Amino acid sequence: MLQIRTSKARGKADHGWLRSQHSFSFADYFDPEHMGFGPLRVINEDQVQAGKGFGTHSHRDMEIISYVLDGALEHKDSMGNGSVLRYGDVQRMSAGTGVSHSEYNHSRTDPVHFLQIWIEPDAKGVAPGYEEKHFDAASKRGALRLIASSDGREGSVLIHQDASIYASILGGADQLSHALAPGRLAYVHVIRGQVTVNGTALSTGDALRLNGESAVTLAEANDAEILLFDLPV
C-alpha cells in the first residue's frame, strides 16, 4: 500500500519568529488520520528567524533527531551539552527519564531551517543521552547513507528503537533500491527536489508511506534530497 502525503496537506503554523510545517499532528494542529506512522511520531520542518528560538523546555521518553538544512542551530541541554549545528550535522537526544533543552538560531542575521524528528522509543525510562555526527554531502550523493539506527552501525547515531534512517542526495541517472523485511514499514520524506518512489512522483515537502512493500525504489530524481525511514509496525 502506498499513501501520498503532499506538502500542501501538512499542518502549518506561523508565529512570526517561527514558521513550521507538520507532517503529523502536533501542538495546535490535529488530524486523526495523521497521528504518526509506526513509531515515527513527528516530522516538523521549522524555519526560525535570526536571533529567535525555543526557550528551555522538557521532554520525556522520546528519541529526538535534528537534521539541519540551512543556517546554524544552537543547542543547550540539562546534560551539559552545548553546540552549534549546521548542514550535514545530525543530532540525537534521547529524552528518557527527562531532559530540558533550548534551541536557538545562532545567527543574528540569517534564518535557520531544520527538520525535527521524534521517534517513540522501544523502552521507557532509559537514561537521557546525547550524540551528534556530521554526514557530508559526498557520503549521501547517489547512496543511502545510514544516519540513525538501533545499534549505531556504520557510524550512525544510536536511537532506542528498531528503526533506521537513511539520507540520500540524488540526481540524473541515480537509481537506488532498499529492501524491506516482511512486516516492515517505510516512510520517504522529500527534503527538496523531485524524485519518483515506487512509481509515485514526489516533490519538495511531499512524503510517501509504504506498507506491505518488499522494497523502496528511488529513481527519476532531480536535485533531490530525501530521508528514508525503515520502521517496525
pLDDT above 90 (res 106): yes
Select from 184, 163, 183 the least CA-distant residue to 227.
Answer: 163
Domains in the chain: boundaries = 10-137, 138-231
Euclidean distance between CA atoms 105 and 111, whole angstroms: 7
Give the mean model confidence (pLDDT) for residues 120-136. 97
Assigned superfamily of 10-137: Jelly Rolls (2.60.120.10)
Q: What angle do CA 33, 37, 40 make, to 5 degrees?
A: 130
DSSP state of 154: G
Residue 62 pLDDT > 90, yes or no?
A: yes
What band does 22 get if pLDDT is binned at 50, 70 and 90? very high
The superfamily (CATH) of domain 138-231 is Jelly Rolls (2.60.120.10)
Q: What is the pLDDT of residue 138?
A: 97
Q: Judge whether residue 102 has pLDDT over 90.
A: yes
- Confidence check: pLDDT of 172 > 90: no
Shared fold status for 10-137 and 138-231? yes
